[in-house]
C-alpha cells in the first residue's frame, strides 16, 4: 500500500510515542499491516524484559471505524479472558492518534513457523490445548472468527500454544445466536459462510480448527495449497479408522450441523481407545480446562 511521506513519518512517531509511554524501545518490527503495526520491544531499564506492542493507527478516514471496532473487540476479549491457552494482555491505552496494547512476547513465534518441525507428540499436545482454549472462549460466548496457524503463538519455556489476535472476534448473546458476516482468512473460512445468510460462528471456529489441525498433521501451511479440495483429498489418504481421519473429516465437514463442538470433540478424544485420552485426563487434573 502507498503511504505519503507525511503519513509514514506519522506512523513512525506513533510507534516511538507508544514505546515512550510504556518505557520501551523498539527491537523488531513483527508485522506492518496498515493501520495495524505489531512490534517487539524491550524495557529501557532492563533489556531482558521483552514485550510486544500492537498499535492501531487512527488516520481519520472510513478505515478508522473498522480499526476502532477491531481494537475494541480485542480489548473486550483480552480484559475478560484469562486462560493458559489464550493470549494475555499487560496493559492498553487510547491516545489521540492511535490505540495500543502491550502483551507478553511469545518468543517461539507462530504455529505456522513450527509446522516444518511438527511431530505427532507436539500436534497432539497442541490440538488438545487449542480445544481447551477454544472451549473456554465458546463457553464465554466468544467466537474468535480468525483461527489460523498465524494467530496461534507458542510460549518459550513449556512450549504451550496460545490463541491470539481477537480483532475479528464477536461476543454473542447465546451459543445459538446466528451471525451473518463472512469473516476469517482465505482457506480457513467455512463453506457455509458463502452459502447461508446466517450461520453459527462457533461452528465456523471449529472448521478453522480443523484446518489448523490439518496443517499440523501434514506439516504444511494451508496457503501452499491451490484449493481446499486438495486438503480434503489428503485427508482421504489417512486410514479411515484413525482418529486423525475422524477428527479432520468431521471438522472439515461442509455441513456445520454435523460438525462437533469443542466440548464434544474433547469428549471424543477422551475415549480410552484414542491416544489423546491421557493428555486430556492430565489437563483435567491440572484444572486448566474446566474452569
Ligand atoms: N505477543 C506476540 N509474540 C510474538 N509474536 C507476535 C505477538 N503478537 C503478534 N505477533 C506476530 O505478529 C503477527 C501479527 O500479529 P496479529 O495477528 O495480532 O496482527 P494482525 O495485523 O491482526 O494480523 P492478521 O490480520 O495478519 O491476522 C503474528 O502473526 C505474529 O507473527
Ligand atoms: Mg493475525
- pLDDT above 90 coverage of the chain, percent: 76
User: Smallest Cα–Cα separation from 263: which of 86, 146, 136, 152?
Assistant: 136
Q: How many other C-beta atoms can be found within 10 angstroms of the C-beta atom of residue 31?
A: 11
Tell me the average pLDDT across 15-41: 89
141 CA → ligand 2 middle, Å: 21
Verify whether ligand 1 is closer than 6 Å to residue 103 (CB atom).
yes
Measured by CA distance, the residue closest to atom 16 of ligand 1 is 165
DSSP conformation class of 115: G
Residue 70 CA to residue 81 CA, distance in Å, equals 17
Mean pLDDT over the full length of the chain = 91
pLDDT at position 125 is 95
Strand partners, 170: 143
Verify whether ligand 1 is closer than 6 Å to residue 27 (CB atom).
no
146 CA → ligand 1 middle, Å: 12
Q: Cα(first)–Cα(last) distance of the chain, in Å? A: 44
How far, in Å, are 14, 130, 232, 247 from residue 163 at the CA level? Answer: 27, 7, 25, 20
- H-helix or E-strand containing 29? strand 24-33
Please give the grid coordinates belonging to residue 253: 465437514
282 CA → ligand 1 middle, Å: 30
Verify whether ligand 1 is closer than 6 Å to residue 30 (CB atom).
yes
Strand partners, 143: 170
Query: How many CA atoms are closer than 13 Å to the CA of 13, on its beta-carbon side?
Result: 10
pLDDT at position 138 is 97
pLDDT at position 291 is 46
- pLDDT tens, position by position, 96-139: 888 999 999 999 999 999 999 999 999 999 999 999 999 999 99
- pLDDT tens, position by position, 53-80: 999 988 777 667 888 888 999 999 999 9
Measured by CA distance, the residue closest to atom 1 of ligand 1 is 105
SS3 256: coil
- pLDDT tens, position by position, 222-255: 999 988 899 999 999 999 999 999 999 999 999 9
| Cβ–Cβ under 8 Å, residues 53 and 102 | yes
pLDDT at position 14 is 76
Verify whether ligand 1 is closer than 6 Å to residue 163 (CB atom).
no
Measured by CA distance, the residue closest to atom 30 of ligand 1 is 110
Verify whether ligand 1 is closer than 6 Å to residue 154 (CB atom).
no
- pLDDT above 70 coverage of the chain, percent: 94
Q: Which ligand is nearest to the CA of 162?
A: 1
Verify whether ligand 1 is closer than 6 Å to residue 18 (CB atom).
no
Q: What is the dihedral of CA 265, 176, 253, 211, to 10 degrees?
A: -70
| Cβ–Cβ under 8 Å, residues 125 and 279 | yes
Q: Which of 151, 154, 188, 221 to mutate to test the pocket of ligand 1 (most atoms within 8 A of CB)?
A: 151
Residue 2 confidence class, pLDDT cut points 50, 70, 90: very low
**DSSP string for 168-179:** T-EE-SSTT--B
Displacement of CA 43 from its chain's centroid (Å)? 26
pTM passes above 0.75 = yes
151 CA → ligand 2 middle, Å: 5
Tell me the average pLDDT across 76-93: 94
Residue 10 clears pLDDT 60, i.e. is over it: no
Verify whether ligand 1 is closer than 6 Å to residue 110 (CB atom).
yes
- pLDDT tens, position by position, 168-185: 999 999 999 999 999 999
Q: Which ligand is nearest to the CA of 31?
A: 1
Residue 4 clears pLDDT 50, i.e. is over it: no
Q: How many other C-beta atoms can be found within 10 angstroms of the C-beta atom of residue 141?
A: 15
pLDDT at position 22 is 86
Amino acid at each position: 500500500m502507498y503511504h505519503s511521506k507525511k503519513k509514514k513519518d506519522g506512523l513512525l512517531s506513533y510507534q516511538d510515542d507508544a514505546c515512550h509511554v510504556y518505557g520501551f524501545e523498539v527491537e523488531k518490527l513483527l508485522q506492518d499491516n496498515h493501520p495495524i503495526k505489531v512490534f517487539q520491544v524491550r524495557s529501557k531499564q532492563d533489556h531482558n524484559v521483552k514485550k510486544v506492542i500492537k498499535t492501531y493507527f487512527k488516520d481519520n478516514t472510513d478505515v478508522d471505524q473498522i480499526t476502532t471496532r477491531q481494537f475494541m473487540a480485542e480489548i473486550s476479549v483480552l480484559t475478560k479472558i484469562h486462560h493458559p491457552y489464550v493470549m494475555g494482555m499487560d496493559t492498553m491505552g487510547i491516545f489521540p492518534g492511535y490505540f495500543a496494547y502491550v502483551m507478553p512476547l511469545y518468543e517461539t513465534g507462530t504455529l505456522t513457523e513450527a509446522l516444518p518441525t511438527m511431530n505427532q507428540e507436539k500436534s497432539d499436545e497442541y490440538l488438545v490445548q487449542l480445544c481447551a482454549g477454544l472451549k473456554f472462549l465458546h463457553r464465554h460466548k466468544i467466537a474468535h472468527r480468525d483461527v489460523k496457524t498465524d494467530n496461534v503463538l507458542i510460549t518459550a519455556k513449556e512450549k504451550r500454544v496460545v490463541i491470539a489476535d481477537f480483532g475479528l472476534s464477536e461476543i454473542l448473546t447465546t451459543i445459538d445466536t446466528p451471525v451473518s458476516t463472512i469473516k476469517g482468512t482465505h482457506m480457513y473460512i467455512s463453506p457455509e459462510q458463502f452459502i447461508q445468510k446466517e450461520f453459527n460462528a462457533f461452528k465456523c471456529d471449529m472448521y478453522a480448527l480443523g484446518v489448523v489441525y490439518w496443517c499440523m498433521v501434514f506439516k504444511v501451511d494451508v496457503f501452499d495449497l491451490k484449493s481446499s479440495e486438495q486438503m480434503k483429498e489428503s485427508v482421504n489418504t489417512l486410514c479411515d479408522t484413525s482418529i486423525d481421519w475422524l477428527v479432520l473429516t468431521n471438522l472439515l465437514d461442509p455441513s456445520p450441523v454435523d460438525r462437533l463442538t469443542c466440548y464434544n470433540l474433547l469428549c471424543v478424544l477422551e475415549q480410552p481407545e484414542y491416544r489423546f485420552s491421557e493428555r486430556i485426563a492430565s489437563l483435567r487434573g491440572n484444572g486448566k480446562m474446566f474452569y
